[in-house]
Amino acid sequence: MVREVAESCVDGVVMEMVAAYCGRFYAAKPELAARRIEAIGFQVGHQLTERYTMERPRFSDHLEAIKFICKDFWSELFKKQIDNLKTNHRGTFVLQDNRFRWLTRVSIDPSVESMDATDNDSATLGDSAAQTTSMLLYFPCGIIRGALTNLGISCSVTADMSNLPAWVFGL
């Protein structure tokens, strides 16, 4: 039996999780909030990979596992494959999603956040929006790290949000 959740529900849960950890639980410690959000993503990625690979044999090498993440895993999560996969053939991979669904509705334009803000407030709002957006990326980074860890690949995952809603992350 296939169970699906509406995309808007997942968006809402992720946004509320980030708001709760950044605003209420760890408002004075953003680095701790980031670690907690990433840890939750790690658990989600680990469990999803367990579910999606249940009927498959183990992967023979790292490249095969990365391809699984780019094609099958990403398709299960976002109904599309990763747009681009690059490697330096020394263990570093760069994955790119040109329309990352969780960031398509996010704006770091301060004028969108407050129409009546002054110039000084506008800069503060822009910094706040950029910080919130970067916090949103810790969750999918954790998902990918958890999935790869479950596949036997220890790694660190970083995200680049310089061209929203495109998303580039390095492994």
Report whether pLDDT(118) > 50.
Answer: no
- Higher pLDDT among residues 111 and 130, named by residue: 130
> What is the model's pTM?
0.81
Q: Does 120 map to a domain?
A: no
Q: b/e per residue, 127-155, with b = 16+ CB within 10 A?
A: eebeebbebbbbbbbbbbbbbbebbebee
Residue 11, domain CATH: 3.30.1380.20
Q: Examine residue 85 and state whether it is found in any structural domain, yes or no.
A: yes
Which tops the pLDDT comparison, 128 or 94?
A: 94
Number of domains in the chain: 1
Pairs from 57-62 (Cβ < 8 Å, separation ≥ 24): 58/152, 59/151, 59/152, 62/91, 62/153
